[in-house]
Amino acid sequence: MPTKSCWVARALALACLLCSPLVAQAFAVPGLSVSSWTLPRPAKNWTVPVLFDGALVAYDGQVLRRFHPGTKVEGSALATVSAPVFSSFLALGPSGRRLFFGESSTGGLFVYDADTKTVRRFSALAFNYQVAFHPLEGERFLYVSGAPSTTSTQVVRIDTVLGTRVRIADVPGSSGPIAFDRFGNLFYSVPDYSGPKKGSILRWSSGQVLAAIHGVPLTPKDATQWANGFDTVGALAFDPEGTLHGVDALSSRFVEFGGGALAAPLLTPQSGETLTQCTPLEAAAGAFERFGSAGAGFRILGTDFATATDRVHELTPRRPQLRASDMQPPPSASLSFTATDLPASVPCIVLFGTGLVPERPLAPLGARGLWFPLFGIVPTLEIVSTVMMSDSSGTLTLQGNAPSRSGSRWTTQVLAGPVPQLVGGDATSPWITSLPVSVSVR
């Protein structure tokens, strides 16, 4: 049966159908791109898919179902677990070879092993909700949040081999999500559906977590209130840089936390859809930065409870594009460059040179999301750089003429910034770059 938090989320979602503004499609803030697809059949509760052994895998409460990562067409089942129940989570283990998943009807906790191709039930926790792996413990131990009683939630550390457990924290109220940062600090979102701006996130230090393994369970009094002043968060996840993100269960938005008050919305779904779960893209390279390089990102699950439709949204950086009107112009011919998807109304430097090394993060200019080649000046070019401003739509156009010298070759790239920081969001890169374009005069 569903968790208490999920029942509340369902009721709120249905109530919001009467008053939500119409949204034609999922909307991402500038600098991010979203692609969406619909899961094929209604389920009691889908989990957000994860990339596992070459396929996207989701758990519908009965079957681990596989989908082609490109076409999203459903393939053969990975494993059948039980009669239909209410799934709670699906998580890829740090080794990449095991899937951990749970269901709330019996509280069962399972693991699927890609090498042995078997499913094993290793423990149970009533009303289990979300899980996390400690960065220093691999996948032998799984941390699980759940509400086995009507008045409190437990965070439990479970040995996935022996099934033994240690209670790490006790928190009043219904189930909330957990996440570890790279240092082993434990974050917990306190659920409060009584109204807007009631949400808060607690943080226990890595030392406190270690002490709780061998001592007394932690409580909210032991924690630091890391962030507050936003709506209730129903899922938590860190990006590769260590920035915390989550799903706002009350206002149905995917948000970024900068720490402190408020949170910055990054994705808003279409009207009637409630976002429920999120997970980082697996083995992602680079940083999850607005206007940054592709690679890192999040997969987010949304449900329209009125139509029993489940959608998956993939949110990734949208790097500025640069196009030349002619990649091989005749000498002295008209030539223009157009950059799109830039931050709006920011200074831009249009660079002309030769890329000496492959693109890489350049720390002095802000490594987060910035990829920039070391440029060498080409003395024979009639222009080396020029400074312009992007317009209010994030577009820049430079018009001129190709060099008069036949055989001239160069690379053009736009350096722009700073990236505006979102209210409530994390610090941003001071500079970003467009994709480079190479031109050769005939």
Phi, then psi, of 320 in degrees rounded to 5: -55, 140
Query: Per-residue pLDDT averaged across 23-31, rounded?
Result: 79
pLDDT digits 0-9 by tens, 293-322: 877 899 999 999 888 899 999 999 999 999
Higher-confidence residue of 134 and 23: namely 134
Could you tell me which of 315, 311, 305, 313 has the C-alpha nearest to residue 30?
315
Topology agreement, domain 4-317 and domain 321-440: no
Q: Quickly state the pLDDT bin for 101 (edges 50, 70, 90).
A: very high
Query: Per-residue pLDDT averaged across 65-74, rounded?
Result: 95
% the chain with pLDDT above 90: 60
Question: Lowest-pLDDT range, 47-56, 102-111, 209-218?
Answer: 102-111
Query: Per-residue pLDDT averaged across 92-98, rounded?
Result: 95
Q: Is the pLDDT of residue 184 over 90?
A: yes
pLDDT at 352: 84
Instruction: Please tell me the pTM assigned to this model.
Output: 0.88
Q: Quickly state the pLDDT bin for 18 (edges 50, 70, 90).
A: very low
Q: Quickly state the pLDDT bin for 353 (edges 50, 70, 90).
A: confident
pLDDT at 374: 52
Higher-confidence residue of 325 and 11: namely 325
Q: Which fold has domain 321-440?
A: Immunoglobulin-like (2.60.40)
- Strand pairing category for 224-230 and 260-261: parallel
pLDDT at 373: 52
Whole-number Å distance between alpha carbons of 312 and 291:
22
Average pLDDT, the chain: 86
Q: Which fold has domain 4-317?
A: Neuraminidase (2.120.10)
pLDDT at 229: 81
Q: Is the pLDDT of residue 115 over 70?
A: yes
C-alpha pair distances (Å), 266 with each of 18, 263, 422? 24, 9, 9
pLDDT at 152: 84
Whole-number Å distance between alpha carbons of 122 and 165:
11
Cα radius of gyration rounded to whole Å, the chain:
24
Higher-confidence residue of 284 and 184: namely 184
Type of residue at 3: T
pLDDT digits 0-9 by tens, 390-403: 999 999 999 988 88
Q: Is the pLDDT of residue 99 over 50?
A: yes
Query: Per-residue pLDDT averaged across 208-226, rounded?
Result: 96
Q: Where are the domains of the chain?
A: 4-317, 321-440
Q: Is the pLDDT of residue 116 over 50?
A: yes
